[in-house]
Amino acid sequence: MPSPHFLRSVALLLALPALLVASDPRLDYLVYGPGPMPDRIVLTWTGDPATSQAVTWRTSVDAGEPLAQIARASATPTYRDVVGFADSARTVVPATVRLQADLGRALYHSAEFTGLEPETLYAYRVGHGDTWSEWFHFRTASREAKPFSFAYFGDAQNDVRSQWSRVIRQSYAGNRGLRFFLHAGDLINHADSDAEWGEWNAGAGWLNGMLPSVPTPGNHEYAKEDDVRRISRHWRPQFALPTHGPAGLEEATYFIDYQGVRLVSLNSNEMIAEQVPWLERVLSDNPNRWTVLTFHHPIFSAARNRDNEELRELWLPVIDRHGIDLVLQGHDHTYGRTGNIAQGSTVRDEARGTVFVVSVSGPKMYRSQEHRLMRRLGEDTQLYQVISVDGDSLAYRAYTAVGELYDAFDLHKRRDGTNRLVEVQPEVEARRRPPEGD
């Protein structure tokens, strides 16, 4: 007898023309509702990227017992299926949570592969019974400080599947050596919209299952319930992240060490003061050569009529005191990038300090504002950034959705730990603005 999921799909497909015209919410269920096949497969980290890898995925509530399998990747089909299992793969039983979303109930599963070998290519799949995802690959990090690159995205937020998708796909197509994606908040527009999270997963597609994500929450990842703001119900089921942050901010405030770089995610939406002592400890006990911070609301805003004074008063002294190299932000739906600046009590030192970036990857755009600290401003342009670290050098390159170089600079670390900034100006307009009145 046909399954309920099959009958549901047939019925909705027959009604599809009417649903498209009427924008019926049943169409969202057809496209983004949960089913027995694993979907929304996302790699993240909860532990050491050299020896572990976390993965999350979703199924319907009537799917069978979930499992994850992993094996060393090989050019030969060494993991042939035998009665639904791979004979050379190690099986991991995931943790599972039930999520009541606006498209119905679903199960989110989270597995962590541990005891892995550094600098090794692995193949894995997730599923249950005879129903499995395809095999994905990922590569573990090195224990040492070795060269690598990652991509950074400002707000995706709107029209994610139709317009943001080309940006993340172009970032991969033009930079095959990427090791992970960093998202600076507002991945979607409505915190608890199951369909919008479905768009975000569909926009990146199989890339989410091959390259880990390092997300930080934006204001649009927050919803209000009984007059209390809370993070999206989808956040923690969908992203398995470190839980060593301040109490109440687990898997939103955290750090990850990757091949000589300490990546720190802060939550600029709530408990801002409570994160200061935690950040002090994380930065004081830091063996890495480079430190990159990411959070959503900018320290120095690039858009008109937007400022985050409290954030600047609380966090900027810590950033200055520890000589953070790079701060990656979103929120302003425009582009702005400072020079290498350090705040003093009476003077500003531009020969050393921190570079602050605000960027946008989705199609929603705001107007820029003149800012004395911004060396480059841009508007009406979807962007992604590639940051490459190699020993005492950090290269920053911003690209448009069509792969055009938009902004560029290099940081060269001195013996005292400060950085010399070298501008690498591409041959593009210094500013991009739509015609007045648009």
Tell whether 167 and 123 lie within a shared domain: no
pLDDT of residue 432: 53
pLDDT of residue 54: 98
Q: How crowded is residue 154: how many other Cβ atoms within 10 Å of its Cβ?
A: 31
What do you get for the CA distance between the two ends of the chain, in Å?
56
Tell whether 115 and 180 lie within a shared domain: no
Q: What pLDDT digit, counting tens, does each position of 150-170 carry?
A: 999 999 999 999 999 999 999
Which positions ≥6 away from 139 have C-beta within 8 Å? 119, 120, 121, 122, 179
Tell whether 9 and 94 lie within a shared domain: no
- Closest by CA to 202, choosing from 154, 169, 236, is 169
Q: Work out the pLDDT band at 19, boundaries 50, 70, 90.
A: very low
Query: How many folded domains does the chain comprise?
Result: 3
| Inter-residue contact 373 to 341 (CB < 8 Å) | yes
Higher pLDDT, 19 or 209: 209
Tell whether 41 and 16 lie within a shared domain: no
Tell whether 207 and 223 lie within a shared domain: yes
Q: Residue 115 maps to which CATH number?
A: 2.60.40.380
Tell whether 74 and 124 lie within a shared domain: yes
Answer yes or no: is 419 within a domain: yes
Q: Is residue 69's pLDDT more than 70?
A: yes
Tell whether 122 and 161 lie within a shared domain: no
**Whole-number Cα distances in Å, 402 to 170, 383, 406:** 7, 9, 11
Q: Which of 76, 108, 139 is the last residue of a domain?
A: 139
Q: Work out the pLDDT band at 83, boundaries 50, 70, 90.
A: very low
Q: Residue 405 maps to which CATH number?
A: 3.60.21.10
Answer yes or no: is 428 within a domain: no
Q: Which of 105, 139, 173 is the last residue of a domain?
A: 139
**Domain encompassing residue 4:** 1-32
Q: Is residue 67's pLDDT more than 90?
A: yes
Tell whether 12 and 125 lie within a shared domain: no
Q: Which of 104, 139, 174 is the last residue of a domain?
A: 139
Q: Return the amino acid letter for 79.
A: Y
pLDDT of residue 350: 65
Tell whether 192 and 127 lie within a shared domain: no
Average pLDDT score over residue span 109-124: 97
Rounded to two decimals, the pTM is 0.91
Answer yes or no: is 434 within a domain: no
Answer yes or no: is 430 within a domain: no
Tokens of 263: 């990546």
Tell whether 375 and 293 lie within a shared domain: yes
Q: What pLDDT digit, counting tens, does each position of 375-390 carry?
A: 999 999 999 999 999 9
- Closest by CA to 330, choosing from 263, 404, 423, 266, is 266
Tell whether 120 and 67 lie within a shared domain: yes
Residue 91 CA to residue 70 CA, distance in Å, equals: 7
Tell whether 339 and 219 lie within a shared domain: yes
| Inter-residue contact 213 to 56 (CB < 8 Å) | no
DSSP string for 129-174: TTEEPPPEEEEPPPSS---EEEEEE-B--SSIIIIIHHHHHHHHHT
Answer yes or no: is 237 within a domain: yes
Helices (H) and strands (E) in the chain, counts: 8, 28
Average pLDDT score over residue span 345-371: 83
